[in-house]
Structure 1
Amino acid sequence: MQDWFCDGIRLTYAKSSFTKNDMHQGHSNADVVRLHFGLKGDYSVTYNQIGKSFDLAGGHHNLFYSKEFDMEFFNKTRKIETFGIQFPKEKFLQFTDNANDALQRFSEKILKGENVIFSGKWGAIDLPIQQVIRQVLHNPYTNGLQQLFLLSKSIELLVLSTEAILSPQESKSSVIKNNTEKEKIIAARDIINEHLKAPLTLSQLAKMTGLNEYKLKHGFKETFKSTVFNYLNEQRLLLARDYLRDTQKSVAEIAYDMGYSTPQYFNNAFKRKFGRTPKSVRKNP
């Protein structure tokens, strides 16, 4: 588990490993609004104060409030990865004072002391949300600059999350027909992330997830608002940027590590994505 704190806000990243699938309990007395992101893993959860239960597959987010917090969850996979932001109640109400109608209604219930969840429909973690969480996990800042950075990213994730949840539902022609297929699409994303240095072909990825190529391509775009190819390229470049900041590897070494045929090809792709060269990132992260 890793925590960051800024202006009373707590950001937490956690990776949990279990020896078996079992029931677990959690409790907190903190009077906060919770923004929860399930990054990886499947589980069912019951929020006692809110009186609701959910069956969740990795790649989801929602916002909820209760003065006290008790939950029960059953891990369906042996590894679960989560990210969360806890906003002090008064701070959250300040941020959402002039927000959209849905957030204002949510805030009004908090003011009345009601236990409330923002939506019964959990949002999917799309590429913009994933990128901001990654920026937090790999932020290079310290002291006051880090505080300012974390505050801005907390608000950005609040906006991205609520907007994603409120976005129109997929049409009736949705490629993904059930939760099993959704879990396979999320598994495809996780497999891509695990093979960034040696990318799989679409047919290999389809075989590993048990999906045909049509459902994989269109289901992936429906879920993550990105094609498989574009997602792979985005993640490779983001990982390359992390290496530039966090390691002493040369630009050429990183280019080959990421599977680029030449350093020049990597340099051009990096510049198109970030508007600067890899060497400039290393000099001025």
Structure 2
Amino acid sequence: MAIALSASNWHNYWQQECISVVNSVGKTEEIWQEKGLLGESLEKYIPLCHGLFLEISDSQMYENVVFYSEYKEQNYLDNIVINFVVSGNVKTIHHGVTDYVWETAGKNYIEFWDSRQETEYWTKCDRILKLRVGIEVDTLRAMSEDCLDTLPMELKHLVEGKKMLPCYRQGNNTMAMNHALSQIIKCPYQGCTRNFYLESKALELVSLWLAENTNNIDADVNLSLKKKDIEALNYAKEIINKNLQNPPSLQELSHKICLNEFKLKSGFKQLFGTTVFGYLHQQRMEYAQHLLRQNNLKVTDIAYLCGYSSLPSFSKAFKKYFGISPKGDRILF
């Protein structure tokens, strides 16, 4: 049984405290802490130079919660915000834009619409950690004035000041994105060094996101895949998710979904933007991170559950993917 909340009664359940600090470049950072019977959360707003800012939200509910929000964005045409999910799973409806979508660890998304209505489903004891990097539209316009046609269509419309239709775009974090996210969250510096470091990492994340979304395969390309092929490929994805410890070979997977190996490999890359092996690796790493943060299993046992026969090979793969060792990730969280 979930507890239903709306924006109007949300604040009845929390005690809120805000701490403001002026950083070394004269900008005001804010830290919002909320605690109550339903859970706790921490929100950080870090303004940077050159039209950039970071937001880090870290929350956990003590009960299953359904939250309905309805509010009007005043500055959605002034800033582009890219959301990166570091941990946790939230099922969300963006009313009028999407059906149910899973905003889960390893995903990123952007969203644009001025009158927003959302319903979010939060699971008891699931830690939701998100990092958002924002860049002012004027800054992006100045940096891309000679290459506007290479921007994703949504950003191109914003930069050109055109009317924006409601939209939502979700993608997968790359290994490089996860590394940069980890570096921001555990930033070791203070003072002006910290500001330079965070600004460089914020720009890095924007660049990495643009690299994945610029010249992206248009949805119309999927028309070259037949409906039955798309269904088969989604079934292949489901089989991989259920068999991370002992996945089928390409030949076995091809046989299970009734597609030849060539169509499996090429269709999977076209539909999901990654190879079959790349997807398997991503899911193994995200599952490993989930186990490290949610359970008291030994790292050796987690390696085995994720399909690795030895701890060294698992540790090497995990560090390469997230930029931190499995033990270090567990200590961090």
Instruction: Say whether 1:101 aligns with 2:149.
Output: yes
Report the counterpart of residue 140 of structure 1 in structure 2: 186
Kindly, what percent of the aligned residue pairs are identical? Answer: 15
Instruction: Say whether 1:224 aligns with 2:265.
Output: no
Aligned residues: 254
Instruction: Say whether 1:26 aligns with 2:71.
Output: yes
Aligned mate of 1:172, from 223, 235, 247: 223
Q: Greater RCO between the two (CA within 8 Å, min separation 6)?
A: 1
The offset of 1:268, in angstroms, is: 6.8
Tell me the secondary structure at the aligned position of residue 78 of structure 1.
Answer: strand
Give the RMSD, CA atoms, in angstroms: 5.7
Q: Which one is further off, 234-243 or 218-227?
A: 234-243
Deviations 1:122-180 (A, max 9, x none): 6551453x7615741564323417513532333224413541646574243325569x9
Amino acid in the other structure paired with 1:152: L
8 A contact 1:6–1:151 mirrored in 2: no
8 A contact 1:124–1:224 mirrored in 2: no
Distance 1:106 1:220, change over 3 A: closer
8 A contact 2:180–2:205 mirrored in 1: no
How far apart in 1 are the matches of 2:56 and 2:110? 15
Structure 2: 5+ residue stretches without partners: 1-40
Report the counterpart of residue 43 of structure 1 in structure 2: 93
Tell me the secondary structure at the aligned position of residue 29 of structure 1.
Answer: coil
Bigger Rg over Cα: 2
Tell me the secondary structure at the aligned position of residue 224 of structure 2.
Answer: coil
Distance 1:11 1:234, change over 3 A: same
1:49-68 alignment runs, 5 A limit: 53-55=97-99, 57-58=101-102, 61-62=109-110, 64=112
- What's the TM-score, normalizing by structure 2? 0.50
Amino acid in the other structure paired with 2:75: A
Deviations 1:21-52 (A, max 9, x none): xx631333336323455966352434xxxxxx
More strand by proportion, 1 or 2?
2
Distance 1:171 1:107, change over 3 A: closer
How far apart in 1 are the matches of 2:181 and 2:171? 15
Report the counterpart of residue 32 of structure 2 in structure 1: none
8 A contact 2:79–2:134 mirrored in 1: yes
How far apart in 1 are the matches of 2:156 and 2:222? 31
Instruction: Say whether 1:10 aligns with 2:72.
Output: no
How far apart in 1 are the matches of 2:209 and 2:309? 39
Distance 1:14 1:113, change over 3 A: farther
8 A contact 1:61–1:124 mirrored in 2: yes
- What's the TM-score, normalizing by structure 1? 0.56
How far apart in 2 are the matches of 1:137 and 1:239? 17
Amino acid in the other structure paired with 1:41: K
Report the counterpart of residue 50 of structure 1 in structure 2: none
